Structure 1
Amino acid sequence: MLQQGRYQVRIAASEKDLQAAQRLRHLAFHGTADALDCDDFDPICTHYLIEECSSGRLVCVFRMLPLTGGADIGRSYAAQYYELSALHEYQGRMVEMGRFCMHPEVHDPDVLRLAWAAMTAYVDENNVELLFGCASFSGTDANNYLDSFAMLRDRHLAPKRWLPKVKAPSVFRFATRLRHRPNLKLAQRHMPPMLRSYLMMGGWVSDHAVVDEKMNTLHVFTGVEIKAIPPARKRLLRALTA
């Protein structure tokens, strides 16, 4: 069990644990904790719970879906929204990280650090070569994030050989629609913390955002090739797992 500051992380071990995660997800994504956020991917994923050590209060959850390689990419959650045929040729092991959320009242950076520590341990233990997921912006109005999208266009688009294509019915094609230069301070300020962390590790994104009315988000496909993570960043992440 990993610990950082006042928090510890563990894998869900029961149906009660899973329902607690689904309840927190509903609170984070839909604004109330009186129902469960669940889907058909939950039974095939490993679920992580980050709790406050002293009280046991659940403050963050996410799930991991392992794939043996690109041939399995169609099994992923992201494949519902992105045309991922370019990744069919990817030979290494993959894992999809999804449904990441924190309790709306919790803003302690130790929580995110602990989440990355757990993901780093998973990647190392399972020889994962590509970590990917859907990184979400809150709400569906792209005008709130134009600087962030412009920065993604300029600095962080996926390599052409892996670039996801459009599949969802409603998308914002920021790579072709935006023309202005980004204000980098505003871009960073409005960037979701999880996406910011992906990018610091050399992550790349799709050239469009999916408009997800059901989840009330805009999200971009995001990938991190483990071999491309800067050595200093790798050392920092692995130090968190010690």
Structure 2
Amino acid sequence: MQNLHPSPETKSAAPRLILSLASTAAEVREVQRLRYKVFIEAMGLAALVNPERLDRDEFDEHCDHLIVRDASTLKVVGTYRVLNPAKARKIGRLYAENEFDLGRLNHLRNRIIEAGRACIHPKYRGGSVIMLLWAGLADYMRRERCDFLAGCASMSVADGGHNAVAVYQSLIYKHAAPAEYRVTPHLPFPIRALAPAARAQVPALVKGYVRSGAWLCGEPAWDPDFESADVFLLLPLENLDSRYARHYGV
């Protein structure tokens, strides 16, 4: 999996981007260093600081890692990790099961690709990197013959959680999953105890999912490690809007 793609992040000398899958332990460490900078350093999560300056967990060795590099510097500027059904069976669960009861989705397990740890360098957030990553996800799903994309998306609670409540309320009626695909958080985020923000600021990842046809599968979970409210999203490929299907190569 490899592609070159022009990016509009800068008006002059726009970087060329290379999409690939990590093939060595060194490349996985590059991914983990980028995640550390974005998820731990930038968010000031003192509890997760470590001397290796790596964001990693037990799932990394079982996952494949999509990488976007700037062709001029070869630095990793974006990443997404993906877990296919065979590797999910090997580890015994999906990552999302740390936060949600996915019992109602048991019949789909052999058809689900789980995506997570989406991460883009702050200087490359103009849109090209995430589009390239999603194109990589679509290609990966075709190769694995899976027709559901699942993942958790995080919402900051830096404002006390009011925006997370507003986002949930703004999306649940239009984008709610059918009842048979609902999941239950192990540690529910207290959405009924908080007043919603006056205007919902939907995170880019959540916006990308729902615009592409994903379902919101229930109430958010509270993630104390990353200090976030997390929602579980499920995207059936048959729901994928034709405009986005063309972008992702489906």
Sort the Cα spacing of 1:195 and 1:73 in 2 relative to 1 into closer, same or farther, 3 A: farther
**Alignment match, 2:12:** none
Query: 1:73 touches 1:79 (CA, 8 Å); kept in 2?
Result: no
Rounded Cα–Cα distance in structure 1 between residues aligned with 2:168 and 2:39: 21
The reply on whether 1:212 has 2:223 as its aligned counterpart is: yes
Equivalences for 1:179-194 in 2 at 5 Å?
A: 186-187=199-200, 190-194=201-205
Query: Which residues in structure 2 correspond to 1:159-170 (within 5 Å)?
Result: 159-168=178-187
CA 1:67–1:161 in 2, change beyond 3 Å: closer, same or farther?
Answer: same
Is the 1:83–1:167 contact (alpha carbons within 8 Å) kept by the matching residues of 2?
yes
Distance in 1 between residues matched to 2:236 and 2:128, nearest whole Å: 24
Measured against aligned partners, the alpha-carbon deviations of 1:60-114 in whole angstroms (never above 9, x if no partner) come to 111100016x989961000111011100122651100011111133322111111
Distance 1:160 1:49 in 2: 35
Give 1:31's aligned amino acid.
E
CA–CA distance in structure 1, aligned partners of residues 242 and 143 of structure 2: 18
Contact 2:66 2:80 in 1 (8 A): yes
Indicate conservation of the 8 Å contact 1:136/1:218, yes or no: yes
- Mapping 1:112-127, distance limit 5 Å: 112-127=130-145
Shift of residue 146, structure 1, vs aligned partner = 3.3
Distance verdict in 2 for CA 1:161–1:220, change over 3 Å? same
TM-aligned CA deviation for residue 224 of structure 1? 0.1
Aligned to 2:116: 98
Q: 1:167 to 1:74 in 2, by over 3 A?
A: farther
Q: Is contact 1:74-1:84 (8 Å) kept?
A: no
Task: Tell me the residue number matched to 2:4.
Answer: 3
Aligned residue number for residue 87 of structure 1? 105
- Give the conservation status (yes or no) of the 8 Å contact 2:85–2:109: no
Displacement of 1:207 in angstroms is 2.2
Q: Rate the CA distance shift 1:214–1:179 in 2: closer, same or farther, 3 A.
A: closer
**2:194 and 2:162 mapped to 1: Cα distance?**
11
- In structure 1, the gaps of 5 or more residues are none
How far residue 216 of structure 1 moved from its aligned partner, in angstroms, is: 2.4
Q: Where do 5+ consecutive residues of structure 2 fail to align?
A: 7-15, 43-48
2:69 to 34, 41, 51: 51
Matched-pair contact (CA < 8 Å) for 2:181–2:217? no
* 1:5-40 Cα deviation digits (max 9, x unpaired): 121111111111111111111111111696111111
Residue 236 of structure 1 corresponds to: 247
Partner of 2:166: 147
What root-mean-square deviation, in Å, do the aligned CA atoms of Structure 1 and Structure 2 show?
Answer: 2.7
Q: Tell me, yes or no, if the aligned pair for 2:99 and 2:223 is still in contact at 8 Å.
A: no
Q: What secondary structure sits across from 1:60 in the alignment?
A: strand
Distance change in 2, residues 1:207/1:173 (3 Å): farther
Q: Which amino acid aligns with 1:65?
A: L
Structure 2 counterpart of 1:16, which letter? A
Moved more, 25-34 or 211-220: 25-34
- The question of whether the paired residues in 2 share the 8 Å contact of 1:84 and 1:165 is answered with yes
Q: Deviations over 1:157-216 (max 9, x none)?
A: 221001001323xx2254x66897x97xx43xx212121111012101132111212122
